Amino acid sequence: MFLHGSFSQILGNLLFLWVFGKTVENVLGARLYLGFYLAAGILTGIAQIIAEPNLTVPLIGANGAIAAIVGAYVMKFPHAKIDSILPLIFVYIPIELPVFFYVFWWFAQQLFYGIGSLNILPSGVNSFSIAYWMQIVGLFIGVAFMRLKK
């Protein structure tokens, strides 16, 4: 969970941690937050190993744990607004967007990346990775954790 496959992956994870992580940490406390983060990352890794038992590449990245943090945030603060910047060519407009916009956008990206990772080789054998789908599992882990914490 502390290694990443690309610079853009770590930047994206850091951005989501910056926007959502500190607030979830304030709600849970530092120790419970750390335990939640580690448990969510481990659980999404286990889920991917179960779903892809013939996996031959290492599992790296914290996307499942970050997704769990986003799920916990949405569960705790469903009406929150996120300060954002809307880039329009050379003009940047500051706006507030509902948290559900971010989650919907993120979910749509994972869905399309997941669909894009499905490959059928010329031999007719399916060759695909379900890493993007496991981030959705992470989101549900975060939602379930916050429901249990109530």
The CATH number covering residue 19 comes to 1.20.1540
d(CA 139, CA 143): 6
Express each pLDDT in 16-41 by its tens digit. 899 899 999 999 999 999 999 999 99
d(CA 60, CA 41): 10
d(CA 119, CA 147): 36
> Phi/psi of residue 85, each to 5°?
-125, 125
Q: What is the pLDDT of residue 128?
A: 52
pLDDT, mean over the chain: 84
**DSSP string of 34-67?**
HHHHHHHHHHHHHHHHHH-TT--S----SHHHHH
Q: Which residue has the higher pLDDT, 117 or 97?
A: 97
Helix (H) or strand (E) holding 120: strand 118-120
Is the residue at 123 inside a domain? yes
d(CA 10, CA 31): 23
Is the residue at 1 inside a domain? no
Is the residue at 132 inside a domain? yes
Q: Which residue has the higher pLDDT, 106 or 123?
A: 106
| Owning domain of residue 95 | 7-149
If one counts the domains in the chain, the total is 1
d(CA 77, CA 28): 13
Q: What is the pLDDT of residue 117?
A: 63
Is the residue at 65 inside a domain? yes
d(CA 17, CA 63): 10
Is the residue at 2 inside a domain? no
Q: How many CA atoms lie within 13 A of 81 on its CB side?
A: 7
Neighbours of 21 (CB within 10 A): 20
Q: What is the average per-residue pLDDT within 63-70?
A: 91
